[in-house]
Each structure stands twice: as C-alpha cells, then as structure tokens.
Amino acid sequence: MADVLALDGTGRAELADEELRELYRLMLAVRHLDESAIRWQRQGLIPGYAPQLGQEAAQVGSGYALDMSRDFVFPTYREMGVARTVGVDMVEYMSTHKATWHGGLYDPKASRFAPIQAVVGGSVLHAVGWAHGQTLDGTPAGELGVAITYFGDGASSQGDVHEAMNFAAVMKAPVVFFIQNNGWAISVPTERQVAGGSVAGRAAGYGMPSIQVDGNDVVAVTQATATALAHARAGNGPAVVEAMTYRRGPHSTSDDPGRYRTLEEERTDGGEDPLARMRTRLLADGIADEAFFEEALAAARAEEEQIRAGINALGPRPGTEMFDFVYQEPTQALKAQASAWREESEHV
C-alpha cells in the first residue's frame, strides 16, 4: 500500500479579517436563499428543492478555497452554497429547481461549475474524467487545475464512487473528493450504511491522503480544502476531505424527517449552528460589530428578492429543445418523434 500522507490543514495562510467577514456574508446569503427556496416551493414558484440548512460552512468554506481560473466544480443537487460562493448566477442556477432547464441555464464551461447532477455518485465519475484529461493533455504539475467533486456519506457507499476513487489514485488524477457527511443518507443514519464510521478512513485503502474536518467551522473547512487542493495541484494525485456536519432540515421538500428522527434528536445531534458560530467568532475577535451584521442582513435580503424576481420572470423554453441536444447526429427514430411532436403541438 502506498504511503498515506496526513493533511495538516495548513495549505492556506491565516485568513485576513476581510476574508473572515466575507465568509460570514456568504454564509448569511446562502442561508437566506436556502430558506427562501423552501418558501418558494411551498408557494408554487418552484416545484422542488433540496435544502442544505446546517451545511453552509462546509459549502462556503470549500468553495472559497478554490481557484476558479483553473479549478472545476462537480456538484450534486445540493451545492447551492458552493455555486453562490464561486459566482454562479443564482437565477440561472435555480432554473433547474423551477424545471425550466435541466442542469441550470448557466454556462458550465465559463463558470467552471458543472451542471447539477441528480444521479447519486455521478458527479464523482465526471470529476475524475475531467481531471485525468489534464494528465492526457500533458499539463505540468503546479499548473494543474483541480476537480473538486461533492457527494454525501450516502453516495460514498455507491460502487461507482469506489471505482472513481481507485482510478483517480492509480492515475494520480488531480481530484479532491469532498464529502459532506451530514449524518443521513435520506432516512438512513451514517452508522447504518458507512462501514468503519468514516469515509475519510477509506482513503488509506486507495493510498490517498485525507482529512476529517469540523464541517460547521467555515475557517477550518477553507484551510483543509486548500491543503487538499495544493496536494492535488502539485501532481501528487487525489485527496479526500470529509466535512462532518449535520442536515438540519429535510432531505428534500418532499421529505418528512419526522418519520425517522425526532425534533429532540435534531437539536441534540445538530450541534452548534455554523452561522451563529461564525458570528460569535467575529464578535469575540473584534472583527465585526452590529453595524456590520445589519448591513450583511440587508444585503442578503436584497439579493434574495432580486433572485426571486428573476426566477419568477423565467419563461418556458422552446419545446423543440427537448430534441435538439440528445445526439450530435439525431437518429431516425428521434427525428420521427420530433416531427410527430411538432404536428401535435404546433400543427405543422
């Protein structure tokens, strides 16, 4: 077995005061947008949404560590906080949840944020493929972009994830496997579906370095992710970051967590709210005052309203598009389906 490095979380220098304030602003904006999205689903503005309450530090911290001039994000359907942190247009991002366009209306190539992936474990395979492509292109170590792939403790039990991690380790692909261990694979607790109790612990079997970090501490997450990115960028191959956090809400807007856990268990197991924790830190260190928090709250509310209005204004896409992007060269069967659809819907 290859030597296993221990990531020490020092890949990024101490964060400056303004960076710490920016992390709080981002977490607050993400919290407001997340809570708003649930209300929008209840109001009928969007048909479905996957909340991330409690995972703001894991998402904002990891996204903040990326170099978006060369790195590439491969998300699941729950990485709204990462998307917001790296600058994806939030109206275009939410178009998926409005069912306007599968994968989002944003440009994945320009934003370096891959389309939202609903297939469990699918984003992991895509990330490894993109990363290995750089090796095939002959990109020298030190200049490598790193693929960061997000998945949960539940997805880590997928066979595809094992294959992707094994391939990445053998080929030394520049990938960071970022696991948000939020305690639940929909309704199944981690201890009932993750053997050994730790996803990060599995990295040793692949000869990868790994780090398990407090996923409710945004600063710790930023530094741990930066360390993993530096390892991969230097040509040393993949690394694993497991952010230990807690999904404080439902798995999706169609889920009822009251069927598999109690409210008291949520309060006990959830630990300290990551947003409140960062606020306490800023106040204790004298980095922010009440005026700052009021300003950040006003900005988050204004952004939330701007995004709501943008989503509301999204019109439907042309129906013919469902046939346009299936194959580069459409099959005869697809052409026949498109023709039948036009005759029925457009009477041509």
Q: Is 260 a catalytic residue?
A: yes
Residue type at 341 in one-letter notation: W
Which has the closest alpha carbon to 74: 136, 110, 128? Answer: 128
Q: Which of 25, 78, 202, 251 is catalytic?
A: 251
Q: What's the rounded Cα separation, in Å, for the pair 20 and 217?
A: 12
Helix intervals (H) in 112-210: 122-137, 159-171
Helix intervals (H) in the chain: 17-43, 56-64, 80-86, 90-94, 108-111, 122-137, 159-171, 218-231, 263-269, 274-284, 290-313, 321-324, 332-345
Q: Which of 25, 84, 112, 247 is catalytic?
A: 247
CA angle 196, 209, 148 (to 5 degrees): 95
Residue type at 42 in one-letter notation: R
Q: Is 327 a catalytic residue?
A: no
Q: Which of 70, 162, 260, 281 is catalytic?
A: 260
To the nearest 10 degrees (0 to 180), the angle between helices 218-231 and 274-284 is: 100
Distances in Å between the alpha carbon of 325 and those of 79, 319, 320, 328, 329? 25, 12, 10, 7, 10
Q: Is 25 a catalytic residue?
A: no
Active site residues: 247, 251, 260
